[in-house]
Structure 1
Amino acid sequence: MYQPDSMSSEERRAAASLASVFAFRMLGLFMVLPVLATYGQDLAGATPLLIGMAIGAYGLTQAFLQIPFGMLSDRIGRKPVIIGGLILFALGGLVAGQADSMLGVLAGRILQGAGAIAAAIMALVADLTRDQHRTKAMAMIGMSIGLSFAVAMVVGPLIAGAAGLAGVFYSTSLLALVGIALVALVVPSPQQAQHHRDAGVARGAFLPALRNADLLRLNYGIAVLHALLMACFVALPLALQEHAGLPREQHWWVYLAGLLLSFIGMVPLIIYAERRRRMKRVVLGAILLLALTQLLMWLSMNSLAALVVAVVLFFTAFNVLEATLPSMLSKIAPAGSKGTAMGIYSTSQFAGAALGGVLGGAVYGSFGLGGVFVCCALLAISWLAIGATMDEPPYVTSYRLAVDPTLVRDEALLRRVLDVPGVAEAIIVAEEAAAYIKVDTQVLDREQLDRVLHPV
């Protein structure tokens, strides 16, 4: 179970190639954020509301299709769903790139979001990696998403400056084609699709996850976080251009400076949260910082230096929360329900992005740029009030461990697993010949647990 062996060459190839597919797709989605508000004004029919809707529109179809596409991949296979989603994403980029009106761009963004492949990719990772190495593979994908966001903030304005908004959208289609090539030629094919409760939705766990108050707080939080991101990018690029006097072609260096400095600031906070077991304190502090940065943007729109400081602080808070919230979900979700909880969490994230774009555009049209920042601050404060009621999460790690097939029907097995020091929760899934457990690694007796699951 806890074999010291390293990942096999096929596992490394699967993890690296799937992380690249995820990164190329997210890069295509994120590149539009820093440029659509400024370059979109040149399109026919552009209004603040339509610009905001176009910024967040991909989240609408993502939210509706994320879980269904994941379940479809259980039936027809992972690769067909992933390739089909990337084709939709590429077509959406072409539609938006050829559009000469904001409505055309909106249609393209909605089509891009229809390529909801995250759940299928996660399931394919589970199919292609052994239990003891799955966390490493998932971590590679998580890092690829963070890197794609950072690159997109810089590359998006550079491409827009050279080739216009259409060039940005055509680039997203090209990235999707690269992803298709990777899936077809590089990503290994699994021998068979397997259902993993830590990577996919379990029907019996769906309603309990929706009723779990701790998970609901996280779902609200991730929805607010991405609503703030979309609404902020309705207003921030315009504040830099129209109030601080920075030409839109030069916005890239603001985002580059903000992201580089924010990464330096976030690392010690995440280490402190995990190692000192002070995650609640760090999360609430980051939410408060989000609210304060929005107020700083509102009060200092005419100062480029102050806006740069606000961008650094905003990205620091955003990146800390983007990294710690999934970790909290993994700790809070009941054993065997992490995949279901993550599916609902991702749906909430994309729904928040869609609502944030609409909210940012509507508020900007009615109350101006300052109104958007004030609205974002109020949203963050509402999250802070809800988050303050949460408990410190249990500091546990989730594992899916193979069980001796001759023991899966033994009714006493679960009790013996729970009696192992350090095991907090456990369920036995006979159909998978697997145990889903949550353990405190600081006190876990690994050898005893191994003996229980695989007696000699």
Structure 2
Amino acid sequence: MTERPAAAALHRNEFIAFVAALMAVNALGVDLMLPALADIGRDLAVTAANHRQWVITAYMLGFGTGQLVYGPLADRFGRKPILIVSLIGFVGASIFAASSATFGALLGARVLQGLMSASTRVLAVAIVRDCFSGRQMARTLSVAQMIFFLVPILAPTLGQGLLLFGPWRFIFYALGAFAALVLAYVLTRLPETLPVARRVPISVASLANGYRVTLTNRYS
């Protein structure tokens, strides 16, 4: 069981809460808006109920693509810069989504949201692995995930609550506000967890090998 220097800068409970919040950015991007799909359809003239589901599909398309990118970038440039850029992008995409005048514009914003939120899934695990090893790493991840698992349960209710106070666009503003809070924490409290000495240059060979391992390992 090892705690590395970056972890010493934060209290364990604070660190776990941060990791859970980071994971929650992505989950909220899917579950918070489920109650709003019908309202989105009415407002943006999407008559087919199945077409409204594209709001979720577009997000997952961006999310899946982003997961292939953030690992190599974070290994090369460090966790914190990549996290900052992607969270800023998520906030911007949320504002874009909230102000969308057409369904096509909303879908574009959702793809961008998913692309940006993929960093939170990839880097949450990477940051924990940077800071801990062995049983302490497993315990930290398990506690953070226990908290995170509450998000899909609570998010639809929270989304429905937001709809009581305003239109569906409020949900996207809420997503942006939550991501902005996480961003503020990253800027003010989170140290860089990947030392320069442990960073890996980006090369075609290393990328190909990493993707090969991911695609051929059933546990990936």
Give the TM-score normalised by structure 1.
Answer: 0.41
Q: Deviation of residue 136 (structure 1)? A: 1.5
Residue 139 of structure 2: which of 136, 143, 167 is its match?
Answer: 136
Structure 1 residue matching 2:191: 3-state secondary structure: coil
Structure 2 portions without partners, runs of 5+: 200-205
Match of 2:99 in 1: 98
Shift of the 29–79 alpha-carbon distance from structure 1 to 2, 3 Å rule, reads farther
Contact 1:21 1:182 in 2 (8 A): no
Deviation at 1:51, TM superposition (A): 1.3
CA deviations over 1:370-393 (Å, ceiling 9, x no partner): xxxxxxxxxxxxxxxxxxxxxxxx
Partners of 2:95 and 2:173 within 8 A in 1 = yes
Counterpart CA distance in 2 for 1:90 and 1:183 is: 14
State the match for 1:45 in structure 2. Answer: 45
Question: In structure 2, what residue type is equivalent to 1:207?
Answer: R
Q: Which amino acid aligns with 2:125?
A: M
**Following the alignment from structure 1 to structure 2, what is the Cα–Cα distance between the partners of residues 93 and 70?**
23
Are the counterparts in 1 of residues 98 and 172 from structure 2 also a CA contact under 8 Å?
yes
- The residue number in structure 2 matching 1:121 is 124
Could you tell me how far apart the structure 2 residues matched to 1:79 and 1:183 are?
Answer: 7
Taking a change above 3 Å as real, the CA distance of residues 141 and 203 of structure 1, as seen in their structure-2 partners, is farther
Give the secondary-structure state (helix, strand or coil) at the position aligned to 2:149: helix
Residues 46-445 of structure 1 mapped to structure 2, 5 A cutoff? 46-48=46-48, 49-115=50-116, 116-117=118-119, 118-190=121-193, 192=195, 194=198, 204=209, 206-207=211-212, 209-211=214-216, 215=218, 329=219, 341=220
In the TM superposition, what whole-angstrom CA distance separates every residue of 1:46-76 from its partner, at most 9, and x where no partner exists?
A: 1425412112211111111212111100111
Q: What secondary structure is seen at the aligned counterpart in 2 of 1:164?
A: coil
Distance 1:33 1:166 in 2: 13
Return closer, same or farther for 1:148/1:57 CA change in 2, 3 Å cut-off: same
Shift of 1:157: 0.9
The secondary structure found in structure 1 opposite 2:45 is: coil
Residue type of the alignment partner of 2:191: P
Partner SS, residue 184 of structure 1:
helix
Q: How far apart, in 2, do the equivalents of 1:160 and 1:50 lie?
A: 21
Equivalent-residue separation in structure 1 for 2:110 and 2:194 (angstroms):
35
Quick one: structure 1 residues 9 and 84, their matched pair in 2 at CA, closer, same or farther if it must change by over 3 Å?
A: closer
Bigger proportion of residues as helix: 2
- SS of the counterpart of 1:46? coil
- 3-state SS in 1 of match to 2:35: helix
2:59–2:113 contact (8 Å) kept in structure 1: yes
1:78–1:124 Cα contact (<8 Å) kept? yes
2-structure distance, mates of 1:45, 1:211: 43
Are the counterparts in 1 of residues 21 and 148 from structure 2 also a CA contact under 8 Å?
Answer: no
Identity %: 24
The aligned amino acid for 1:185 is T
Shift of 1:150: 1.6
Look at both structures and tell me which one has the larger radius of gyration over its CA atoms: 1
Q: In the alignment, residue 87 of structure 1 is paired with which amino acid?
A: I
- Residue pair 1:97, 1:169 contacting (<8 A) in 2 also: yes
Q: Could you say if the C-alpha distance between residues 8 and 44 of structure 1 is closer, same or farther in structure 2, counting changes exceeding 3 Å? A: closer
Q: 8 Å contact 1:31–1:156 — kept in the other structure?
A: yes
Contact 2:78 2:193 in 1 (8 A): no
SS of the counterpart of 1:10?
coil
Change (3 A) 1:202 1:16: farther
Q: Which letter maps to 1:98? A: S
Structure 2: how far apart are the matches of 1:180 and 1:2?
A: 27
Give yes or no for contact 2:93–2:110 (8 Å, CA) kept in 1.
yes
Describe the shift of the 1:149–1:190 C-alpha distance in structure 2 as closer, same or farther (beyond 3 A). same
1:177, distance to aligned residue in structure 2 (A): 0.3
Q: Does the CA contact (< 8 Å) of 1:28 and 1:175 recur in 2?
A: no
Change beyond 3 A, Cα 1:203–1:122: farther
SS of the aligned residue for 2:150 comes to helix
Higher relative contact order (CA 8 A, sep 6+): 2
Deviations 1:156-214 (A, max 9, x none): 0110222110111111110110110111122233261647xxxxx986464355345xx
Aligned length: 207
Deviation readout 1:272-302 (Å, 9 max, x if unpaired): xxxxxxxxxxxxxxxxxxxxxxxxxxxxxxx
TM-score, L = length of structure 2 = 0.81
Instruction: Give the aligned residue type for 1:72.
Output: L
Distance in 2 (alpha carbons) for counterparts of 1:191 and 1:119? 14
Mapped to 2, the partners of 1:87 and 1:129 lie a distance apart of: 27
Per-residue CA deviations over 1:389-442 (Å, capped at 9, x if unaligned) read: xxxxxxxxxxxxxxxxxxxxxxxxxxxxxxxxxxxxxxxxxxxxxxxxxxxxxx
Question: Is residue 20–residue 144 contact of structure 2 (8 Å, CA) maintained in 1?
Answer: yes
State the shift of 1:25 in Å. Answer: 4.2
Q: Which amino acid aligns with 1:85?
A: S
